[in-house]
Amino acid sequence: MLFVLTAIDRTDAPGLRLANRPEHRAYLESLGNKLFLAGPLLAPDGVTPIGSLVILDAADLTEAEALAAGDPFAKIGLFASTTISPYQVVFHNPPVKAS
């Protein structure tokens, strides 16, 4: 089952995301088929990261929560808020080019 993790960064910790990005990316890559999609949420300028959107393929909510808790960004307290919700793909266009 797919789960959407939406996480909004704290505004009182500038530089925390960038300093821990390599560990975060390595963790996501280590998830293999458990990771369906991931990328930063951006400010209106279209450049500045303000959070994360991750879609996980997990057996249940408990596993999705455990996967989310293992993310280095979560471990360092980057996020001011997070939500995890079951998700169902209804439409899917061809893949977009990753940046």
pLDDT one-digit tens code per residue, 41-74: 999 999 999 999 999 999 999 999 999 999 999 9
pTM of full prediction above 0.85: yes
- pLDDT for 13 equals 83
Question: Which of 73, 4, 80 shows the shortest CA–CA distance to 35?
Answer: 4
Structure tokens at 89: 């793909």
Confidence of residue 99 (pLDDT cuts 50, 70, 90): low
Domains of the chain: 2-87 (3.30.70.1060)
Give tens-digit pLDDT for 85-94: 999 998 888 7
